[in-house]
A and B are shown apart, each in its own frame.
Chain A
Amino acid sequence: MSTQPVNYLETSELVLNMGPQHPSTHGVLRLVLKLDGERVKAVECIIGYLHRGVEKIGENRTYTQFAPYVDRMDYVSAVANGLGYCLAVEKLIGVEAPARAQMVRVALAELNRISSHLLWLGTHALDIGAMTALFYCMREREEVLKIFENYCGARLTTHAFRIGGLQYDLHDTFEAEARAFCDMFEKRIDEYEQLLTKNPIWVERLRGVGVLTAEECKSFAVSGPMIRAAGVNWDLRRAQPYSGYEQFEFDVPVMHGADSYDRYLVRVEEMRQSVRIIRQTLGRIPGGAILAKVPKVLKPPAGEVYVSTEAPKGELGYYIVSDGSQHPYRLRVRPPSFMNLASLEKMAVGALVADVVAIIGTIDIVLGEVDR
């Protein structure tokens, strides 16, 4: 018989590894959670499992050659990544894309925003336990990907844009496809809202979870739907219009709850606004050239440039330093997911383990972009 007293009230902290193969970490994110019962005491975020050295690859490729690589960072919104990179290099060499190319870029970027938000909504709902929404979202996302495939021949890593404009002109059926999608999709958003917005489980799981106030958002350099859900009206499409966004009428949805539920509402409303922008492009796409005059061998003048665009997940910035040669001297990407993920600890400490899943979901990360 052991003489050691049995302590039934053992209250030591439990260190739990979540990921890197956990399905709700959306890839290969690893979290080391320090738990006191169900409460999270501390979170350590370990990233880098998907590191491919994209920025270093950029230093060894010419400006044109690097364009396909940016698609592979945020592979859910490859078009938005390509747009940001092309705009940055165009600013560096002092070229502006023709009007037709700009309008097509906006249409495709907004379609991409919808597909990215759809994937987010589906997987987020799946994490929370609402499985139906995933199938509904994937069904509509398929329609967007079909449009991409018809336009440029690839569904995910599109490589749709080139420096100076577009490589592919619009296919004949683009307007019909996009219009059919818009007509269908507006009703489908109502369907998602019917499934989720008033769903008591959904509201209970998200309301008040992962609160990040406007001040905290700013101090963490959080951008995109997360900062807009905290009451800050900050959308780069409106604040620093690029690629002709100033011609379009759209609202920037702003909520004040600063929690996961409001981020959900902001993203759903953003999808509606994207449909609105796509509708405005249709029938208004001007004719003319699709590719500006860009030399075959790109040798930008020495200098540096920073261009940021509003990607579906937030501010996507490209900082390029040129030394006058064919290759960038330094290429730095400011990925929205990486910056937004930094606020995870702030949101998750004190929450329940189950809420950590909801909080990761609400940030909308893509590990390809976080690790690069």
Chain B
Amino acid sequence: MEMAANSMLNTLKRWLLLDLLDGLWVTFKMQGTGNIATEQYPSDRPKVAERYRGAPRLNINPENNETLCIGCDLCAKACPENLIVVGTVRNKETRRLDLTTFTYDLSRCMFCGLCEDACPVDALELTQDFEMASYTREGLIWDRQMLEEGPRPTQYTR
């Protein structure tokens, strides 16, 4: 008797498509604007974390536009891949090292952050920029000018 009632109920359920509606309810629940996970990338840029380790930057002093780098070569020594080359020349008057060239080979970089940890004056920094693609391998070898200005990816707007 109970079994018959159960099968009646199941048949009724199937007739009224209750299971289907149950499944569709999950779909409809996800339609709210709060549930959108897709990022419309080129027009809407994702916001990466504050500590994100992205494109390197060689900081310049905003007051006098001079580089903060003191040419100590510690970043080059810290780098596991030996991809940083610091060129300096001894300034006769101040007896200090003046930075001439700075090369950073992004094609071999694994963004471990050891160079920025090593920097005693916070001149070298891994920034939140993440658009570093290049059509050539040479384009990934950044010179001092590129490191100071940062990458300039194409800006797309809606």
Contacts and interface: CB of A to CB of B under 8 A. Distances in A.
Contact of A68 (B49, B52, B112): B112
Contacts of A162: 117
A150 B128 CA distance: 12
B85 to A, nearest CB: 17
B45 interface: no
A153 B52 contact: yes
A65 B37 CA distance: 36
Interface of B: 37, 48-53, 78-80, 110-114, 117, 126
Contact of A159 (B37, B78, B79, B112): B112
B113 A159 contact: yes
A197 interface: no
Nearest to B128: A153
A154 B53 CA distance: 7
B51 A65 contact: no
Main secondary structure of the interface of A (DSSP, over half): helix
Given A64-B114, A149-B51, A150-B50, 14 more contacts: A65-B78, A65-B114, A149-B48, A150-B49, A150-B51, A152-B51, A153-B49, A153-B51, A153-B113, A157-B110, A159-B113, A162-B117, A167-B113, A168-B51
Nearest to B117: A167
Contacts of A69: 80
Contacts, number: 45
A151 B51 contact: yes
Given A65-B80, A66-B80, A154 B111 contact: yes
A128 to B, nearest CB: 21
A290 B51 CA distance: 17
Nearest to A146: B49
A171 interface: yes
B80 A171 contact: no
B50 A68 contact: no
Contacts of A153: 49, 51-53, 113, 126
A17 to B, nearest CB: 33
Contacts of B51: 149-153, 168, 171
Interface string A140-167: 0000001001111110010100100001
19 contacts: A64-B78, A65-B79, A65-B80, A65-B114, A67-B112, A68-B110, A68-B112, A69-B80, A149-B49, A150-B50, A150-B51, A153-B51, A153-B53, A153-B126, A154-B53, A154-B111, A157-B110, A162-B117, A167-B117
Interface in A224-266: none
A293 interface: no
A188 interface: no
Size class of the contact patch on chain A: 20 to 34
A307 B48 CA distance: 35
A52 interface: no
A65 B53 CA distance: 17
Contacts of B80: 61, 65-66, 68-69
A123 B114 CA distance: 33
A34 to B, nearest CB: 40
Contacts of B111: 154
Interface string A61-86: 10011111100100000000000000
Nearest to B112: A68
A151 B49 CA distance: 8
A206 to B, nearest CB: 25
Contacts of A139: 37
Contacts of A72: 110
Nearest to B113: A159
Q: 4 closest Cβ contacts across the A-B interface? A: A68-B112, A153-B51, A65-B80, A153-B53
Nearest to A62: B80
Interface string A43-69: 000000000000000000100111111
Which residue, A67, A72, A153, A159, has most C-beta atoms of chain B within 10 A? A153
Contacts of B78: 64-65
B12 to A, nearest CB: 24
Contacts of B126: 153
Contacts of A152: 51
Which residue, A149, A151, A162, has most C-beta atoms of chain B within 10 A? A149
A206 B122 CA distance: 55
Contacts of A150: 49-51
A64 B74 CA distance: 13
A346 B79 CA distance: 44
A162 B126 CA distance: 18
A152 B49 CA distance: 9
A326 to B, nearest CB: 11
Nearest to B118: A296
A154 B111 CA distance: 9
Nearest to B111: A154
